[in-house]
Structure 1
Amino acid sequence: MCGRYVNSRSPEDLGVEFDVDQSVLSERLAPDYNIAPTKRIYAVLDRPGDTPERQLRVVTWGLVPSWAKDRSGAAKLSNARIETAAEKPSFARAFKSRRAVVPADGYFEWRRQDGGVKQPFFLHRPDDRALHLAALYELWRDSTREAGHPDAWWWSATILTTESTGELRDIHDRTPLTVRPGALDAWLSTAPSHPDELRALLAPSTEELVARPVSTLVNSVRNNGPHLLEEYVEAAPTLF
């Protein structure tokens, strides 16, 4: 799964990296080293039209389906399983035509140690390049807002996950999916595609990551800052 992640990149840097046509930002997000569900995040997506437009947008992490009565269940839909996303009612429409990428420096996972203690790890690329996490987005009409109100439409997203592979599988059995190199345009395309073709554009993130043990300070969403990414070294036992 993916329950916490990091993005320290500016919208300007993301605009260049993803060749964005337009940044549609309701706000400018500060670097965040402990992003949790329900927070505002950056997402890259293609909006349909005669000439599709690639946009960088601010959305909320936690999908709100277009048919939902309210936004109360968003936190429970922060992740979507790739195995069922094309068929599950909460995600099927978005999987068909509203796909996105969530940029991340890396993400956190917890491994249960002896004694039941959970050790957090920061998973990232060895060269620290950005991860292009595969995502879905939705628009939900807030009926309490007038049509022209800036918040009349609620933008939200979920991150796709799959089974972990490789050496990092022992940390967690689920992992976010990333868009394969060269597959970004096909993944963001709003043109019809078969689900199997879309799934082939993605890869388990654990295929290319390294894991670094970090402090349990990350356990609390109140804690934030680059110090959360520092390697945790267990103190030696006191001899006297």
Structure 2
Amino acid sequence: MCGRYVMARTTADLVAEAEAEADAHLELRQSWNVAPTSDVPVVLERYVGGPAAGRAAVREIHVARWGLVPGWAADDSVGVRAFNARSETVLEKPTFRDAVFSRRCAVPVQGYYEWKTGPGKTKQPFYVHRTDGALTFFAGLYEWWRDPAKAPGEPGSWLLSTSILTAAAPDPAEIRGARQPEVLGELGELHHRMPVPLTRQGMDAWLDPAARNAGELVHRVVGEARTAAAQWTLKAVDPAVGNVRNDGPELLAAPAAEPDSEPALF
């Protein structure tokens, strides 16, 4: 699954890595502890002015609330429970099924956090990120929702929201037996679910607004997830990341060593 992540890149950096356009006044908030309901950048493609023969889709960066709110929702509270979308049921669930057919996006992250249960039910957070420091783009969905309490055209009357697609993590035993990259087995030991990272070619296909073969696209990006995840590495980090009020690059520091239970004798 994905419940916290890091996105502290500047708008210019994201524009370059995503090969996208952004409004000149768009400013992204740096965060080392992004949590659901936060405003986050998303990358999507759309036909400016509507689709037309020979008109190419434009790739753009927008800011969306993390937690998808479908257009039919009575209020935006549904988004609190819809920050992840399971790939196995995304085509069927009412919350996601419209978006997966026509409103797909990519959610850029520098890395994400996952907690591993240890002895005595202790939990150690790990930071999962690319070894080369480049951004990972998760397969995502987006929706527009109009607030019925606001007048048409009133500022804030439309809400853009997003959700991250997840899939089953690799089986560690299978990875060891197949001699695949070790990090894939580590992901399976960390959690039984994982967000779906996009390959470059998979991202192009996923974002294409003309594509309506949603089932094939979901199958493709889930199938390619291991290829993208093979570039990841895991790092134990400060447990302070568990408190969403903590936010800063210091969260990526290795956890402090446990003090000796007895003083050393000399």
Measured in 1, the distance between the counterparts of 2:211 and 2:240 equals 44
Q: What does residue 14 of structure 2 align with?
A: 14
Measured in 2, the distance between the counterparts of 1:16 and 1:149 equals 33
Deviation digits for residues 181-221 of structure 1, max 9, x if unmatched? 22222111111332342020341564331111111100000
Aligned mate of 1:160, from 159, 165, 168:
165
- Amino acid of the residue matched to residue 214 of structure 1? V
| 124-133 or 41-50, larger mean C-alpha shift | 41-50
Is the 1:175–1:206 Cα contact (8 Å) retained in structure 2? no
Is the 1:105–1:128 Cα contact (8 Å) retained in structure 2? yes
Q: What does residue 201 of structure 1 align with?
A: 221
Instruction: Give the Å deviation of 1:234.
Output: 2.5
Measured in 2, the distance between the counterparts of 1:5 and 1:24 equals 25
Runs of 4+ in 1 over 6 A off after TM superposition: none
Measured in 2, the distance between the counterparts of 1:30 and 1:61 equals 14
Measured in 2, the distance between the counterparts of 1:206 and 1:13 equals 22
Is the 1:86–1:95 Cα contact (8 Å) retained in structure 2? yes
Deviation digits for residues 51-101 of structure 1, max 9, x if unmatched? 322211010000001100001121110000011111211100100010001
Instruction: Give the Å deviation of 1:23.
Output: 2.9
| 193-202 or 4-13, larger mean C-alpha shift | 193-202
| 181-190 or 137-146, larger mean C-alpha shift | 181-190
Q: What does residue 171 of structure 1 align with?
A: 190
Instruction: Tell me the number of residue pairs that the alignment of Structure 1 and Structure 2 aligns.
Output: 239
Q: Aligned ranges for residues 115-194 of structure 1 at < 5 Å?
A: 115-165=120-170, 166-167=184-185, 168-194=187-213
Q: What does residue 223 of structure 1 align with?
A: 246
**Structure 2, unaligned runs of 5 or more:** 171-183
Measured in 2, the distance between the counterparts of 1:225 and 1:74 equals 26
SS of 1:227 mapped into structure 2: helix
Instruction: Give the Å deviation of 1:18.
Output: 1.7
| 80-89 or 141-150, larger mean C-alpha shift | 141-150
Return the structure number with greater strand share.
1
Measured in 2, the distance between the counterparts of 1:227 and 1:214 equals 9
Cα RMSD after superposing both structures? 1.6
- Amino acid of the residue matched to residue 110 of structure 2? D
Instruction: Give the Å deviation of 1:12.
Output: 1.4
Measured in 2, the distance between the counterparts of 1:96 and 1:30 equals 30
Q: CA 1:98 to 1:24, structure 2 compared with 1: closer, same or farther past 3 Å? A: farther
Instruction: Give the Å deviation of 1:238.
Output: 4.1
Instruction: Give the Å deviation of 1:233.
Output: 4.4
SS of 1:178 mapped into structure 2: coil
Instruction: Give the Å deviation of 1:155.
Output: 0.3
SS of 1:128 mapped into structure 2: coil
SS of 2:156 mapped into structure 1: coil
Is the 1:24–1:56 Cα contact (8 Å) retained in structure 2? no
Q: What does residue 36 of structure 1 align with?
A: 35
- Amino acid of the residue matched to residue 110 of structure 1? W
Measured in 1, the distance between the counterparts of 2:147 and 2:215 equals 33
SS of 2:206 mapped into structure 1: helix
Measured in 1, the distance between the counterparts of 2:60 and 2:23 equals 6
Instruction: Give the Å deviation of 1:123.
Output: 0.5
Q: What does residue 2 of structure 1 align with?
A: 2
- Identity, in percent, stands at 38
Normalising by structure 2, we get a TM-score of 0.85
